[in-house]
Amino acid sequence: MNWMAWTLPTAIFFSTIGSIIVMMTVWEIRSPCIERKGFLPISTTRGDRLFIGLLSSAFIHLFTLGFTSLNIWLALIASVIWLISLMRWG
């Protein structure tokens, strides 16, 4: 694995994403989700909301990094809150 140039933070990042996907799969098998409409303009499934949440979190981080001088951990906290509320009410 040396050629992949792993670092601890990226390993944590990818294992978090990986375990979220595994957990979503288990959740889906145990109780399949029904497409519904929340505050987003389109009706979404659980997986759609996860994708939207992760993609927008990436842009929240980029925006914080590029256009503000705020601490990046604030962006992470904001993203987690955003992701949870999107999953619940999106």
Partner 1 sequence: MNKVQNNKAWLLVLPVFLLVAFSAIIPLMTVVNYSVQDIFDQNNAYFVGLEWYQEVMSVPRLQDSLARQFFYSGTVLLIEVPLGICVALMMPTRGWTASLSLIVLALPLLIPWNVVGTIWQIFARSDIGLLGYVINGIGIDYNYTNNSVDAWFTVLLMDVWHWTSLIALLCYSGLRAIPDAYYQAARIDRASSWAIFRYIQLPKLQGVLIIGVLLRFMDSFMIYTEPFVLTGGGPGNSTTFLSQTLTKMAIGQFDIGPAAAFSIIYFLIVLLVSWLFFTTITHLDKDKVKEQSHD
Residues that bind partner 1 (CB under 8 A): 2-7, 9-10, 13-14, 42, 51, 55, 58-59, 62, 65-67, 72
Pick between residue 1 and residue 88 the one whose CB is nearest to partner 1: 1
Minimal distance in Å, beta carbon 20 to partner 1?
15
Minimal CA–CA distance to 86: which of 48, 31, 58?
48
The radius of gyration of the chain from alpha carbons, rounded to an integer in Å, stands at 15
* CB half-sphere exposure, 70, CA atoms < 13 A: 14
Pick between residue 6 and residue 27 the one whose CB is nearest to partner 1: 6
Pick between residue 10 and residue 19 the one whose CB is nearest to partner 1: 10
Residues 6+ apart with CB under 8 A from 89: 38, 39
Minimal distance in Å, beta carbon 10 to partner 1?
5
Minimal distance in Å, beta carbon 23 to partner 1?
17
Which residue in this structure is represented by tokens 């519904």? 36
